[in-house]
Structure 1
Amino acid sequence: MAETEDHRSEPARPPAGFGGGEWPAETLVATVRGVLPSLTPAARTVARLILDDPAMVARSTITELSSASGTSEATIVRTARALGFAGYPQLRLALAAASAGRTPDRLVPGDVGPDDPLADVILKVSRAESEAIKDTVAQLTAERLGPVVDSIAAARRVDVYGVGASGLVAADMSQKLLRIGVAGNAFTDAHLALTSAVLLRPGDVAVGVSTSGETPDVLEPLRTARDAGATTVAITNNPRSSMAALAEHLLISAGRETAFRPGALASRISQLLVVDCVFVGVAQRTFDRSQQALQATRKAIDAFVTETRPPSRR
């Protein structure tokens, strides 16, 4: 069946660093997975082949890939460019580098099947989460993290926005920052988030957490915070997303979602890793203040636990 071409224009902003050396070869497949939702339907067909068998795509000529994907050669070229490469030859080279020395299991983690024994479930889930962490680490450079840490360390207030599984990450970030004396809140309700965002001012920081980068409940508060003059940060899997384009600073997480791992697990684990790195960086920048806050909060909690613990029986 002939493909139906989609001639919608690609987003003006390509994934930063694709084809320019910023993205390490070992994270290429993970990054393609992150941008998949923002591609046109025809381009997604080609991108899914990259995800399913990157080594095969690296070996294929454009004519062979056109036949295998059922798409035109023009679509393949457009897909390569949408991913940030000059053309298909450059994409093939990057995929070859990503495939070199890596096992097929590493490139294509096995999804959990409905009949998998629990022993296999343990191995597949742990492998997916381990790979999400490795892929996130490879993309989380000091150059990207540093400005975020500096902004939060100097902030009067930090808003963190997220819903669903990303809302749990937002709450974790806010709680961690609170322990070291950084004032702020996590918002999982769009109305409350907007109420807070519009009252931010220059010097404040707003952080949006969204795997897709297209969640309206996160996008609108982040846009409002930006318009109010706050520094904006996006934590997302998708560097081509609306949220990535909106934010001043972009931190990429990695981790794919499957039928048995929707929204959570690997994606959430990678987001939590990013949050932990931000937290430790801020604690370093504000060491004296952070240590005093940690000691004070720990003392208050320990005293509460001691006072409320029922007396032990002898």
Structure 2
Amino acid sequence: MAGQDIFTLIHSRYNSFTNTEKKVADYILENMKDVIFMSITDLADACNVGESSIFRFCKTMNLKGYQEFKIMLAHSTSPDDESPQLSSRITMDDTIEELSSKILSANVNAMTETYNLISKQDISDAVDSIMKADRVHFFGVGSSLMTALEAKNKFMRITNKAECTLDSHLQIMAAALMTEKDVAVLISYSGSTKDTIEVAKVAKERGAKIIAITRFAKSPLTTYSDITLLCGANEGPLQGGSLTAKIAQLYLLDLLYFEYFKRTNKESAYNKELTAKAVIEKML
């Protein structure tokens, strides 16, 4: 895959494309650097076509789907001195000092953009939902699962209703047993992860409140969400699991945690003292 050039592939097959596929191809060729950071829904909206048209465009080029297309696009748009696995601002010639500065800048920018994307009403509504819920289940797969586990670790110190399931099969089973009294917090940078979308669909059918923490306002995941909290980190298709994206997600989870703590101060403070005492014997 890495040796293929997406633009050569598009040009070689252009005459065989349908009119809709040509419309998608034209947009990609004119906006290649932007498309790398777009969700399938964003690209579909930009081209004024349906998501299924984007998927068919990828299949026409014998690609498995949109994610494989973005990986090829990342390789094709990367300069010779820059690895597509790295941030677009980091080159193979950077010194440790330059790397330190660029990584710091990327993390600060992600936090700042996330801050600018915060809706006070959405945060307030999300916390209200968590307070009213019988159970709060954090979901994610891959690197987003690590973030979901961190969320559970944080909330379980102040409430006994935080849950997180590791296996994707068990996740869908847990979603199937949710009720209208439960909240599902789904974490997915792309909003296009199949397992997470399926969990959202099942939890929604069961009447649970859906909170999505994601990068894109429009994605397959957000079609099921009642509340969408946006993180502001840009992550290329070959940079999955970047700490920059995780830091932005954890920032939002921290915000939910502290607002929940404020609103349930007496109970949360008491529970935090209990959980702290429970692990004190584990410390030297």
- Give distance in 1, aligned partners of 2:89 and 2:238: 8
Who is 2:265 aligned against? 287
The answer (yes or no) to whether the contact 2:28–2:35 under 8 Å persists in 1 is no
- Give distance in 2, aligned partners of 1:5 and 1:122: 47
The answer (yes or no) to whether the contact 2:184–2:211 under 8 Å persists in 1 is yes
Task: Please tell me whether residue 79 in structure 1 is matched to residue 46 in structure 2.
Answer: yes
- Give distance in 1, aligned partners of 2:230 and 2:214: 5
Question: Where does 1:32-111 land on structure 2 (aligned, <5 Å)?
Answer: 40-48=24-32, 79=46, 111=89
Change over 3 Å in CA distance of 1:245–1:44 after alignment to 2: farther
Change over 3 Å in CA distance of 1:80–1:155 after alignment to 2: same
Who is 1:87 aligned against? none
Q: Secondary structure at the match of 1:137?
A: helix
Q: Secondary structure at the match of 1:185?
A: strand
Q: Secondary structure at the match of 2:278?
A: helix
Give the Å deviation of 1:116: 1.3
CA RMSD of aligned residues (A): 2.7
Change over 3 Å in CA distance of 1:123–1:240 after alignment to 2: same
2:229 partner letter: L
The answer (yes or no) to whether the contact 1:47–1:79 under 8 Å persists in 2 is no
- Give distance in 1, aligned partners of 2:31 and 2:131: 39
Who is 1:219 aligned against? 197
The answer (yes or no) to whether the contact 1:6–1:41 under 8 Å persists in 2 is no
- Give distance in 2, aligned partners of 1:159 and 1:296: 22
- TM-score (structure 1 length as normaliser): 0.65
Give the Å deviation of 1:165: 1.4
Who is 1:98 aligned against? none
Give the Å deviation of 1:185: 1.5
Who is 2:186 aligned against? 208
The answer (yes or no) to whether the contact 1:6–1:42 under 8 Å persists in 2 is no
Change over 3 Å in CA distance of 1:218–1:260 after alignment to 2: closer
Who is 2:255 aligned against? 277
Task: Please tell me whether residue 246 in structure 1 is matched to residue 224 in structure 2.
Answer: yes
Q: Secondary structure at the match of 1:244?
A: coil
Who is 1:183 aligned against? 161
Change over 3 Å in CA distance of 1:47–1:176 after alignment to 2: farther
2:46 partner letter: T
Who is 1:174 aligned against? 152
Task: Please tell me whether residue 7 in structure 1 is matched to residue 20 in structure 2.
Answer: yes
Q: Aligned pairs, how many?
A: 226
- TM-score (structure 2 length as normaliser): 0.72
- Give distance in 1, aligned partners of 2:150 and 2:19: 40
- Give distance in 1, aligned partners of 2:116 and 2:217: 15
Who is 1:17 aligned against? none
Q: Secondary structure at the match of 1:304?
A: coil
User: CA offsets, 1:138-191, max 9 Å, x none?
Assistant: 001101111111000111101111112111110011111111114122223211
Who is 2:206 aligned against? 228
- Give distance in 1, aligned partners of 2:91 and 2:234: 15
